[in-house]
C-alpha cells in the first residue's frame, strides 16, 4: 500500500491482493483492482487533477461518475492515446498511463494560469466583442490553438470497434435498485430483457449507501438479483454499457466498453468498444439522479466535491477524500456523508445546513460522532492554494473560519432526464424536490426511481418492479405475482430548502466548473438581454463542456430566473442532445472505416495500369489512373503528352466504372422518353443517342448515351458517379409512380469491362487485333456486337475526346486480355495508355460537358442550350419546372467557353466573371468550371457558366478572384474540330 496514505486499511469493494501500478503525470503510483483512476489518485493524495478551460484554475475531483466535469485526462500514449476521458469512469489497470489535460508543462505549474490573472478582461462573451479589428485572421491561429482540452492522437486509430443490432421486449437502463427490480420482474416472465449499466458493477447507489433490503446489505442484494436476471434464458446483462441516444420508434444507441488500452495492445484483434443499436418494445429509464453542487464564493478549489461522491469513495473504494471535512448542504442526504466519513476515521468539523430546522434524528447521529451542527448557516468563502484548507461559515452567531481539507456539498438532486428528453418527452418542474422530472411521454417508456424524482429506496424498488411487470405484460408475457413487500431500513427525509446562490463573498462563485462560468457571467448575460436558455448557453458557454452541464444547468437556470424575475419552470431548459456522455469517435463507425467504410474499387485491368506506372486517384470510389508518368516527368507534362498522343496517334483508356444499366420490356422506349429530356423511343436498333436526365426541378442530374440493342432492349450509359444512383432513381419511378409500365431495370456496371481506344490510328489498331465488326460500315453513334481480339464484345462508336473512338465492352474477366491485345497491336501505331487528367483536357478542348464540374444543383437543361426539348417533347421528368419563368430567364448562368491570349496561363477553376451593378458595386456574373492548357491548340482554354452567356459570345470580360483580374473572351465552348470531321472519320 506504498504511497496510498488516504487508503483505509479495510473495507471497500476493492481487491487488496491485486495491486496495480500506473503512471500519472510521469509519477509511478499504485492502486488496487476495483479502483477507478479517480479513486486511485485520491488514495495517493493527488488533489489537483487538471485545470479549467478558460482561466486554467486548479481543479480537483468533484464527482464519482458520469457527472465528473473536472477530472478529464489524456489516457494512454501513442496512437491509442484518448483525450478528455473522465477519471471517474476509467477502471484502473496495470500499466495505465494518464495525465491531466489543458495544462502546460504540468498541472502544478501551468503557464496558462496567467489567464486567471487577467480574468477581469475575459468575461462571458468577450470574444464576440474583442476580435473584430483589424482582421479575424490575426487572431484565428491563437484561438484555434487554445481551443479544446486534450490532444487527439496522430496517425490512424489502431483499435477495433464492433457494431451490433438487437431487439428486445424490455430495455432497462440503469442497474440501481429501481432498474434491478424492473429487470428482475420482466425477466421472470420470460420476456426478452436487456439490462444496460454504464458502471462495471450492479447496484448503483447501493454500492455506497448503507441500506438494508429485505434484511441484507444493498450491495449483496444487488449481486444476488443480478445473478438471477442473468440466469434467465432471454435476459442479457451488459456492464460498462452507456446508453447514449434515445431516438424515434424506441430505437436506442448503446456503447459498451469491451477492453482497455493495455488489453487491446496485447491482442490487436480484440475490440475495444461495441456499439449497440437496440429496438425495444418498452423502455424502463432507471437512470438515477445527479447531485447538484452549491454555488458559493470560492467553490471551485480542489478538495471541494459532491457529498454523494465523497460517500462513494469512502464506502466503495475505501478512500478518504480528506482528513478534516466540512459538509455544506440544504438537504438530509448529505448527513449520510457526514456519518460515513466520521465512521471511516475522518474528522468532520461541522455540518453547515442552510435550513434553520434539522430533524432530531440527524442531530443525534451527529452528536454521537461529536460532529458540530450549524443550522441556518452558509459557506461564503474558502482559502487554500492547491487545495482547500479552510472555509468561512456565516450563521446567526456570526462568521468563523473552519479548517478543513475536504468540503462535501449537496444542493439536492436532479433526476437524470437526459434520455427521457431525447425521446421527445416533456419535463415538468417539481417544487418538492426543486428539480425537473419526467412529464408527458411520447414513446413507450417509463421513468422510475430517482430518475422520476422518487429518491427513497423503497419507492424505487416498488416503481421499478411495477414498471418491469407492465413492460412484460405489454409484450404479452405473464408475470408471476410477487408475494412479498419490499422493506428497507431507510428513514424518511425532510424537504430540502432550495439554495441556488450564496451571496456575500468577494470571490467568484462558479456554476460551470469546466468552462469557468460564474454567477457574474450569468448576470452579465441577463444585463445584455441574453436571457433565453439558448442564448445564455451560447453567450456564456454554460453546459457546452464535455459534461454537457450535468452539474450546472439547473443551478444556472434558477440563477437566471432569479435575476430576471422568472421561475425556473418559466425560464425553461434546453433539450438534451445525443450522446448522453462522451464516446469514442471510432465507436460510431464500428468496423466501417478505411476500406470497410468505403471499399476501394479497382478496375478489372488494375494490374495492367500498375504495370504501366500509373498514378492512381479516387474518382467516385474507384481507383483510376490519373496519369502515367515517365522518368522525370511532372503530372502536367504527363497529362500533356498523353493528350497530344490521342490527337496525333491513339490512346487507350479504361472506362469500366462508367454506369451501365439495361432497360428491357415492351414499354422500355416509353419509359426512357420520360426519363430523358430528349426522345429515345425513335432510336433504331444498333444506334446510340446522347441524352440528359433531369430532376423534377429541371436540374441536370446526369448525362450519357443510350443504345438500342433491340426493339424492347436498351443499354443506358451514365457517369461513373451516377452508376448506382441513377439505377435506384429509375427503380423508384417504376415502383412508385409508373406501375403500369412493363419494364425491367438491371444495373450491369460490374458485369462489363470497358476499354476505349481513341485517336486517328484507332481503327487501324482494332483491325490489327482482329474483329468481326465491319469497321468500314460502322459510323459514329452506332453499336455492334461481335468479337474483338477473339473476345465476345459490344462495340460502341462513341467519343468523349473528339477523335475516332471505339468503346469496347467485354465480360469483366476479359478486360485485362483485351487491354493486352490492344497495347501489343498498337505499339507500332503510337498507342499509349491515357489517364483521367488527359481525358479531361481532351473533353475540354471539344467542349463536352462534365456533370458536377460544369454543372451544379441549379443548372437546368435550358442553361446548356437544350431549348429544343420544350418544343419537341410532351412529357419528361422536369419539363413542368422548365416552363417556369424563372427557369427561362435570359440572364441565367449559361454554358460558354473562355478564350485567353495565347501567352497566358490557364484560368483558375472557380475564378469569377466580374461585373459591375448599376449602383457601382462589384458583382459575380459567372465563374470558370473547367480549365486546361491545350497541347494541340497550344494555348489555354476554359469552360464556364456566365449570366446570359448564350447572347454574349465575343464579349470581353474580366475574370479573377480577390484583387487579381484578367481578361477573357466569351466564345463557343467547342475549341477543337467544330465540324466534327475527325469525330466521324
Beta strands 372-375 and 347-353, pairing class: parallel
pLDDT score at 484: 59
The whole-number pLDDT of residue 507 equals 87
SS3 for 386?
Answer: coil
Average pLDDT over all residues of the chain: 94
List C-alpha distances in Å: 314 to 198, 391, 907.
Answer: 21, 22, 72
Cα 790 from Cα 817, distance rounded (Å): 10
Cβ-in-10-Å burial (0-12, 13-18, 19+) of 721 comes to middle
d(CA 553, CA 561): 12
- Of the segments 446-450, 477-481, 543-547, which one has the largest average pLDDT value? 446-450
pLDDT tens for each residue of 328-363: 999 999 999 999 999 999 999 999 999 999 999 999
pLDDT value for 575: 83
pLDDT per residue as tens digits for the range 538-581: 889 898 888 889 999 999 999 999 999 999 999 988 888 899 99
Q: What is the DSSP string of 337-368?
A: HHHHHHHTT-EEEEEEESSS---HHHHHHHHH
The residue extents of the domains of the chain are: 15-129, 160-289+415-474, 321-410, 659-750, 889-984
CA distance 798 to 756: 9
Residue 528 has pLDDT above 60, yes or no: yes
Quote the longest CA-to-CA distance of the chain.
113
Pairing of strands 622-627, 601-602: parallel
Angle at CA of residue 49, ends 47 and 50, nearest 5°: 135
User: What is the arithmetic mean of pLDDT over 467-478?
Assistant: 95
Separation between Cα atoms, residue 843 and residue 719, nearest integer Å? 14
State the CB neighbour count (10 A cutoff) for residue 472: 26
Domains 160-289+415-474 and 321-410 share a fold: yes
B/e letters for 524-534, b = 16+ CB within 10 Å, e = fewer, are: bbbeeebbebe
What is the Cα–Cα distance from 520 to 517, expressed in whole angstroms?
8
Full-model pTM: 0.82
In this predicted structure, what is the pLDDT of residue 139?
77
Classify domain 659-750 by CATH number: 3.30.70.1400
Residue 562 has a pLDDT of 94
Q: Could you tell me which residues come within 8 angstroms of residue 577 by beta carbon, excluding any fewer than 6 positions away?
A: 422, 548
Q: Angle 955-960-961 (CA atoms, 0-180°, nearest 5)?
A: 150
Q: Which of 95, 149, 100 is nearest to 260 (CA)?
A: 95
Residue 1 confidence (pLDDT): 41
Closest to 755 in 3D by CA, of 747, 766, 745, 746: 766
Do 689 and 678 contact (CB within 8 A), yes or no?
Answer: yes
What would the grid cell of residue 726 be?
441513377
160-289+415-474 CATH pick, 3.50.50.60, 3.90.1150.110, 2.40.50.140, 3.40.800.10 = 3.50.50.60
Q: Cell numbers of 702, please?
A: 446526369
pLDDT, tens digit, for every residue of 136-164?
Answer: 777 778 778 777 788 888 888 999 999 99
Q: Which residues pair with 195 in a beta bridge?
A: 172, 237
Which pLDDT tens digit goes with each residue over 634-651? 999 999 999 999 999 999
Q: How far apart are CA 661 and CA 658, in angstroms?
A: 10
CA separation, residue 166 to residues 188, 252, 333, 880 (Å): 20, 10, 39, 46
**For residue 483, pLDDT beyond 60:** no
Query: Minimum mean pLDDT among 117-126, 378-387, 424-433, 674-683: which range?
Result: 117-126
Residue carrying the nine cell digits 429509375: 730
- In angstroms, rounded to a whole number, what is the distance separating the alpha carbons of residues 359 and 361? 5
Fold of 15-129: Ubiquitin-like (UB roll) (3.10.20)
Nearest CA among 411, 394, 438 for reference residue 496: 411
**CA pair distance 453, 460, nearest whole angstrom:** 9
For residue 966, which of 893, 923, 907, 921 has the smallest C-alpha distance? Answer: 907
CA distance 738 to 671: 9
Write a three-state SS string for 470-537. Answer: HHHHHCCCCCCCCCCCCCECCCCCCCCCCCCCCCCCCCCCEEECCCCEEHHHHHHHHHCCCCCHHHHH
Would you say the C-alpha torsion 901, 904, 906, 909 has a positive or negative sign? negative
More confident residue, 815 or 539: 815
Average pLDDT value for residue range 123-134: 77
At 558, phi and psi to the nearest 5? -65, -40
Which pLDDT score is estimated for 90?
97
pLDDT over 90 for what percent of the chain?
84
Confidence class for position 487, pLDDT limits 50, 70, 90: confident
Rounded Cα distance, 656 and 361, in Å: 84
Rounded distance, CA 167 to CA 170, Å? 9
The string of pLDDT tens digits covering residues 870-886 is 777 889 999 999 999 99
pLDDT digits (tens, 9 = 90+) for 585-609: 999 988 888 888 888 899 999 999 9
Q: Which CATH class is domain 889-984?
A: mainly beta
The strand pair at 96-100 and 406-410 is best described as unpaired
Taking residues 894-912, report their average pLDDT.
96
Say how far apart CA 532 and CA 536 lie, in whole Å: 6
User: If you average pLDDT over residues 256-269, what whole number do you get?
Assistant: 94
Rounded to whole angstroms, the Cα distance separating 798 from 779 reads 9
- Alpha-carbon span 305 to 334, nearest angstrom: 12
Between CA 173 and CA 151 the distance in angstroms is: 32
pLDDT of 728 above 70: yes
With 0-12 / 13-18 / 19 or more C-beta atoms within 10 angstroms meaning exposed / middle / buried, residue 508 is buried
Q: What is the pLDDT of residue 2?
A: 54
Q: What is the CA radius of gyration of the chain?
A: 37
Q: Locate cell 454500492: which residue?
A: 207
Contacts (Cβ under 8 Å, ≥6 apart) of 182:
170, 172, 284, 286, 448, 464, 465, 467, 468, 471
pLDDT at 871: 78
Task: Report which of residues 391 and 108 the model is more confident about.
Answer: 391
Instruction: Give residue 117's pLDDT.
Output: 76
Strands 15-24 and 96-100: parallel
Report the distance separating Cα 28 and Cα 826, nearest Å: 71
Q: Would strands 615-619 and 650-654 be described as parallel, antiparallel, or unpaired?
A: unpaired
Taking the C-alpha atoms of residue 529 and residue 449, their distance in angstroms, rounded to an integer, is 38
- Which of 429, 432, 460, 434 is CA-nearest to residue 447? 460
Length, in residues, of the chain: 985
How many C-beta atoms surround the C-beta of residue 153 within 10 A? 17
Residue 194 pairs in a beta bridge with 171, 236
Fold for the domain defined by 321-410: FAD/NAD(P)-binding domain (3.50.50)
Backbone angles phi, psi at 574, to 5 degrees: -75, 160
419/417 Cα distance (integer angstroms): 6
State how far the Cα of 319 lies from the Cα of 305, in Å rounded to an integer. Answer: 14
Amino acid at each position: 500500500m506504498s504511497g496510498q496514505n488516504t487508503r483505509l486499511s479495510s473495507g471497500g469493494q476493492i481487491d487488496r491482493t491485486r495491486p496495480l501500478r500506473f503512471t500519472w503525470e510521469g509519477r509511478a503510483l499504485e492502486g488496487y483492482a476495483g479502483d477507478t483512476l479517480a479513486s486511485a489518485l485520491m488514495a495517493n493524495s493527488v488533489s489537483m487533477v487538471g485545470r479549467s478551460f478558460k482561466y486554467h484554475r486548479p481543479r480537483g475531483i468533484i464527482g464519482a461518475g458520469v457527472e465528473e466535469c473536472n477530472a478529464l485526462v489524456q489516457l494512454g500514449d501513442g496512437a491509442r492515446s484518448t483525450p478528455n476521458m473522465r477519471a471517474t469512469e476509467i477502471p484502473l489497470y496495470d500499466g495505465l498511463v494518464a495525465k491531466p489535460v489543458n495544462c502546460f508543462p504540468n498541472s502544478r505549474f501551468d503557464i496558462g494560469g496567467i489567464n486567471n490573472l487577467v480574468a477581469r478582461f475575459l468575461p462571458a462573451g468577450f470574444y464576440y466583442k474583442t476580435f473584430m479589428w483589424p482582421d479575424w485572421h490575426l487572431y484565428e491561429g491563437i484561438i484555434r490553438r487554445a481551443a479544446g482540452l486534450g490532444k487527439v492522437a496522430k496517425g490512424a486509430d489502431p483499435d477495433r470497434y464492433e457494431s451490433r443490432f438487437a431487439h428486445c421486449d424490455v430495455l432497462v437502463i440503469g442497474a440501481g435498485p429501481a432498474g434491478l427490480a424492473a429487470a428482475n420482474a420482466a425477466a421472470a416472465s420470460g420476456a426478452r430483457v436487456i439490462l444496460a449499466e454504464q458502471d462495471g458493477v450492479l447496484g448503483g447507489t447501493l454500492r455506497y449507501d448503507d441500506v438494508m433490503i429485505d434484511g441484507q446489505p444493498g450491495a449483496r442484494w444487488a449481486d444476488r438479483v443480478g445473478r438471477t436476471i442473468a440466469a434467465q434464458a432471454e435476459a442479457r446483462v451488459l456492464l460498462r454499457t452507456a446508453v447514449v441516444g434515445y431516438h424515434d420508434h424506441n430505437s436506442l444507441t448503446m456503447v459498451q466498453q469491451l477492453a482497455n488500452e493495455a488489453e487491446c495492445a496485447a491482442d490487436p484483434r480484440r475490440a475495444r468498444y461495441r456499439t449497440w443499436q437496440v429496438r425495444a418494445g418498452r423502455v424502463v429509464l432507471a437512470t438515477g439522479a445527479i447531485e447538484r453542487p452549491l454555488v458559493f464564493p470560492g467553490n471551485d478549489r480542489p478538495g471541494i466535491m459532491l457529498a454523494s461522491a465523497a460517500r462513494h469513495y469512502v464506502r466503495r473504494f475505501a478512500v478518504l477524500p480528506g482528513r478534516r471535512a466540512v459538509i455544506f448542504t440544504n438537504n438530509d442526504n448529505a448527513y449520510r456523508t457526514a456519518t460515513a466519513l466520521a465512521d471511516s476515521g475522518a474528522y468532520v468539523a461541522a455540518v453547515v445546513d442552510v435550513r434553520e430546522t434539522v430533524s432530531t434524528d440527524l442531530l443525534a447521529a451527529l452528536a454521537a460522532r461529536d460532529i458540530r451542527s450549524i443550522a441556518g448557516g452558509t459557506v461564503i468563502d474558502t482559502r487554500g492554494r492547491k487545495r482547500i484548507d479552510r472555509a468561512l461559515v456565516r450563521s446567526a452567531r456570526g462568521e468563523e473560519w473552519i479548517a478543513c481539507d475536504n468540503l462535501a456539498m449537496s444542493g439536492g438532486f436532479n433526476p437524470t432526464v437526459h434520455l427521457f428528453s431525447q425521446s421527445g418527452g416533456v419535463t415538468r418542474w417539481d417544487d418538492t424536490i426543486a428539480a425537473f422530472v419526467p412529464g408527458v411521454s411520447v414513446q413507450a417508456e417509463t421513468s422510475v426511481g430517482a430518475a422520476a424524482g422518487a429518491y427513497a429506496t423503497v419507492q424505487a424498488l416498488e416503481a421499478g418492479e411495477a414498471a418491469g411487470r407492465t413492460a412484460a405484460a405489454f409484450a404479452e408475457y405473464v408475470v408471476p405475482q410477487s408475494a412479498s413487500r419490499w422493506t428497507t431500513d431507510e428513514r424518511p427525509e425532510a424537504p430540502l430548502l432550495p439554495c441556488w446562490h450564496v451571496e456575500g463573498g468577494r470571490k467568484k462563485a462558479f456554476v460551470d466548473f469546466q468552462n469557468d462560468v460564474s454567477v457574474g457571467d450569468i448576470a452579465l448575460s441577463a444585463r445584455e438581454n441574453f436571457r433565453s436558455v439558448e442564448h445564455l448557453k451560447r453567450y456564456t458557454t454554460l453546459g457546452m463542456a464535455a459534461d454537457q452541464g450535468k452539474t450546472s444547468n439547473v443551478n444556472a437556470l434558477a440563477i437566471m430566473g432569479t435575476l430576471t424575475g422568472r421561475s425556473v419552470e418559466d425560464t425553461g431548459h434546453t433539450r438534451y442532445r445525443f450522446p448522453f456522455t462522451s464516446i469514442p469517435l471510432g465507436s460510431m463507425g464500428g468496423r466501417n472505416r478505411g476500406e470497410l467504410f468505403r471499399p476501394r474499387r479497382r478496375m478489372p485491368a488494375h494490374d495492367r495500369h500498375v504495370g504501366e506506372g500509373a498514378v492512381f486517384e479516387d474518382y467516385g470510389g474507384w481507383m483510376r489512373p490519373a496519369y502515367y508518368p515517365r522518368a522525370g516527368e511532372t503530372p502536367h507534362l504527363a497529362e500533356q503528352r498523353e493528350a497530344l498522343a490521342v490527337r496525333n496517334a491513339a490512346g487507350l483508356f479504361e472506362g469500366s466504372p462508367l454506369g451501365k444499366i439495361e432497360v428491357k420490356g415492351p414499354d422500355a422506349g416509353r419509359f426512357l422518353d420520360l426519363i430523358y429530356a430528349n426522345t429515345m423511343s425513335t432510336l433504331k436498333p444498333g444506334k446510340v443517342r446522347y441524352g440528359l436526365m433531369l430532376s423534377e426541378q429541371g436540374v441536370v442530374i446526369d448525362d450519357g448515351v443510350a443504345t438500342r440493342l433491340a426493339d424492347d432492349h436498351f443499354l443506358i450509359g451514365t457517369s461513373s458517379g451516377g452508376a448506382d444512383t441513377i439505377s435506384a432513381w429509375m427503380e423508384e419511378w417504376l415502383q412508385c409512380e409508373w406501375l403500369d409500365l412493363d419494364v425491367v431495370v438491371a444495373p450491369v456496371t460490374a458485369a462489363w469491362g470497358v476499354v476505349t481506344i481513341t485517336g486517328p490510328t484507332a481503327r487501324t489498331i482494332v483491325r490489327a487485333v482482329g474483329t468481326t465488326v465491319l469497321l468500314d460500315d460502322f459510323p459514329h453513334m452506332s453499336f455492334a456486337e461481335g468479337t474483338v481480339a477473339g473476345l465476345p464484345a459490344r462495340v460502341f462508336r462513341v467519343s468523349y475526346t473528339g477523335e475516332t473512338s471505339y468503346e469496347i465492352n467485354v465480360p469483366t474477366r476479359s478486360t485485362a486480355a483485351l487491354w493486352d491485345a490492344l497495347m501489343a497491336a498498337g505499339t507500332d501505331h503510337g498507342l499509349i495508355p491515357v489517364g483521367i487528367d488527359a481525358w479531361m483536357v481532351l473533353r475540354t478542348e471539344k467542349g463536352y460537358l462534365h456533370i458536377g464540374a460544369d454543372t451544379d444543383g441549379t443548372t437546368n437543361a435550358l442553361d446548356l442550350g437544350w431549348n429544343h426539348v420544350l418544343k419537341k417533347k410532351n412529357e419528361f421528368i422536369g419539363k413542368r419546372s422548365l416552363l417556369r419563368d424563372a427557369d427561362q430567364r435570359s440572364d441565367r448562368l449559361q454554358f460558354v467557353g473562355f478564350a485567353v491570349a495565347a501567352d497566358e496561363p490557364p484560368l483558375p477553376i472557380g475564378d469569377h466573371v466580374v461585373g459591375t451593378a448599376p449602383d457601382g458595386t462589384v458583382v459575380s456574373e459567372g465563374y470558370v468550371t473547367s480549365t486546361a492548357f491545350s497541347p494541340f491548340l497550344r494555348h489555354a482554354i476554359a469552360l464556364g457558366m456566365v449570366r446570359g452567356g448564350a447572347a454574349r459570345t465575343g464579349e470581353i470580360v474580366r475574370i479573377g478572384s480577390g484583387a487579381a483580374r484578367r481578361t477573357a473572351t466569351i466564345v463557343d465552348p467547342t475549341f477543337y474540330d467544330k465540324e466534327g470531321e475527325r469525330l466521324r472519320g
